[in-house]
Amino acid sequence: MKQFLTLSLLLLFSYSILLGQITQDLPRGYSPAEKAQLLTKKFEPFTPEGFSGPPPVPVRAMGEWEELQALLITWQANDNSRRDILTEIVRAARLECTVVVCCDNQFTLTSAQDYLTSKNVDISSNVDFLLVPNNSIWIRDYGPNCVYANGTDSLYFIDWRYNRLTRPKDDTLANTVARHLDIPLFTTSAAPSDLVHTGGNFMSDGWGTAFSSSLILNENAPGNPYGVSVKTEPQIDGIMQAFMGINKYIKMPPLPYDVIHHIDMHMKLLDEETILVGKYPDGVADGPQIEANVQYVLSNFKSAFGTPYRIIRIPMPPQNGYYPDSDSDYRTYSNAVFVNKTVLVPFYEEQFDTTAQRIWEESLPGYKIVGINSNAIIPSLGAIHCITKEVGVPDPVLIQHQQLPCMDNVQYLEYPVWANISHQSGIASAKIYFTTDLSQPWQSVDLPKYLLNDTIWNFHGFIPKQTAGNTVYYYIEATANSGKTITRPLVAPQGYWRFCVTESVDAPEITTVELAPIYPNPAAAITVVPVQSTSSIPGQLNLYNALGQLVQRIYEGTFSTGTVNYFIDASRFPSGTYWVELRSGNRASVQKLIIR
């Protein structure tokens, strides 16, 4: 009888493998049972829902730090080793937004409710339990991706093909969530736009730039096992532009010891020009390749503002003194998730966690940094970012701004603040709040609309001149015509931007240098780029394409006093949108140029 039961259980297990129903504490990569299933080449058919083509209007991929209405997680009834991590995610995240707990069946749903309640998590509000077919906990990789039509209009979901053939239910989770939240779903399921991609290997700055490892190229190359059409890198870029609004797609070599080759294991975008990067001791594990990748990015790409990226290093903590090149777990502090005014960060040991906490808090003033013990999940090649998925708000008030550098009182009578602010209903008003003493009330000035169409910004105001030696703290507040008000940083006034005020004793006069209107614009041949300067001053004049790539250095040297004309032969360049940037010291001005 015992032999019969053993044989029956074995047959049942084998049958479940063939049907792709493996759900036993699955790692982020393939489990041994899944690897055996791959050899059989027997998988459930992929059955996508939603629209098989790209959205009908231009879209913008949501940035890592934008406002959320919900955070998605999946709960496995038999995944006992990880339920404490999920519990702490729910405990912290429900204070910021709704947490949608995706459960495969009613038994799982009930067990999730019971366990959270037993751990004193209030599930009476901001926790939504949803019956959703799924195979694994790694919702980051297969969950829906958020984009906005025309920048801030309708919220859409984009669902890529998942790269785990043995997890067919995971690949359809976006269908159920989209119906539940009533969000239109567009899928990369039909050739020639059939694309395999994973959320852990994607980060967006919210302004058309994204990062991935070259895994995305390999998974859509000739011989791929997913049944998708073969694609070149330009074709992949075109799909990401059409579905995600990505105009500049930065791809880096994968890391030798990161088995899954997902960038969220070693980096995190903190804002449009700041990247938090994991750091190993010199020459250890993935340290050399991470550093090579950082230098590749710094040497070849600029931020959305046309400036070099700022890099913040955070240690990759060891395990018992060892790193992944010695078969230790791939511990990381970058695998974190923004949940409105809170950031959830994986923690491991207090002696290392305190340093990570300090770096996160110094990098993001005002944010609540919540550490969650991730020792139970990191052996499976993932942490907090890997098991969560953000859902943006349906009506974002988008504020994009480049933090001011140190400002020189000899060069500036007041400090210019530029911003790009938008909402589907339009913007009723915007203000700049500032202070030089955080213990005193904030002062405010209006941030008026900028009515000309010669920069990438649509609002422009000034912070009044302050005494040299002070630090100025500031933030932006915007109110939409609908009445919705938001700040950037989102945590203001507890969080803020800052800049120092200096005074150059050697500079006897104020020098201004700026672009005059370019003409003709649109352009098709010789185009005039006038520069006006009140005195001789060194600088550069550059032409960038829509991807932010430098296509011509128009001039580098000293700009003479008065108005001097520089020239571009527009016939040399493909039709499209370009940007002419004048840069001198810490100042820059930008104009849009349309080439026909």
Kindly report, residue by residue over 115-125, the tens digit of the pLDDT.
999 999 999 99
What does residue 273 show for φ and ψ, rounded to 5 degrees? -135, 15
CA dist 284 → 97, 276, 435 (Å): 39, 19, 44
Question: What pLDDT is stored for residue 24 in this prediction?
Answer: 53
Residues 338 and 465 in one domain: no
Which of the pair, 10 or 37, is modelled with greater confidence? 37
Distance of CA 218 to the CA centre of its chain: 22
Residue 8: pLDDT over 60: no
Q: How confident is the model at residue 158 (pLDDT cuts 50, 70, 90)?
A: very high
| Strands 562-569 vs 248-252: parallel, antiparallel or unpaired | unpaired
Residue 354: pLDDT over 80: yes
Q: Note whether residue 372 is domain-resident.
A: yes
Q: Given 376, 392, 408, which residue is the final one in a domain?
A: 392
Residues 385 and 421 in one domain: no
Over its C-alpha atoms, the chain yields an Rg (Å, rounded) of: 26
Span 326-338, mean pLDDT?
Answer: 97
Residues 353 and 434 in one domain: no
Q: Note whether residue 364 is domain-resident.
A: yes
At 86, which CATH number? Answer: 3.75.10.10
Span 500-515, mean pLDDT?
Answer: 76
CA dist 150 → 60, 147, 184, 592 (Å): 7, 9, 15, 19
Residues 495 and 547 in one domain: no
Q: Note whether residue 348 is domain-resident.
A: yes
Question: What pLDDT is stored for residue 167 in this prediction?
Answer: 93
Span 411-432, mean pLDDT?
Answer: 94
Q: Note whether residue 24 is domain-resident.
A: no
Q: Note whether residue 494 is domain-resident.
A: yes
Q: What is the distance between the alpha carbons of residues 255 and 381, in angstroms, rounded to a whole number?
A: 13
Q: What is the distance between the alpha carbons of residues 578 and 547, in angstroms, rounded to a whole number?
A: 9
At 416, which CATH number? Answer: 2.60.40.10
Q: How confident is the model at residue 80 (pLDDT cuts 50, 70, 90)?
A: confident
Residues 88 and 160 in one domain: yes
Residues 158 and 306 in one domain: yes
Distance of CA 284 to the CA centre of its chain: 27
Number of domains in the chain: 3
Question: What pLDDT is stored for residue 535 in this prediction?
Answer: 81
Question: Residue with structure tokens 């911003």?
Answer: 419
Please state the pTM of the whole predicted model: 0.83
Residues 418 and 329 in one domain: no
Domain that holds residue 585: 513-595
Residues 530 and 578 in one domain: yes
Q: Note whether residue 405 is domain-resident.
A: yes
**Helix runs in 45-105, H state only:** 83-93
Residues 132 and 253 in one domain: yes
Q: What is the pLDDT of residues 103-113, one digit of tens each?
A: 999 999 999 99
Sign for the CA dihedral angle at 111, 115, 117, 122 comes to negative
Question: What pLDDT is stored for residue 14 in this prediction?
Answer: 39
At 555, which CATH number? Answer: 2.60.40.1930
Q: What is the pLDDT of residues 191-236, one digit of tens each?
A: 999 999 999 999 999 999 999 999 999 999 999 999 899 999 999 9
Q: Note whether residue 536 is domain-resident.
A: yes
Q: Note whether residue 39 is domain-resident.
A: yes
Residues 61 and 137 in one domain: yes
Residues 327 and 408 in one domain: no
Lowest-pLDDT choice from 76-85, 117-126, 321-330: 76-85
Q: What is the pLDDT of residues 268-314, one digit of tens each?
A: 999 999 999 999 999 999 999 999 999 999 999 999 988 899 999 99
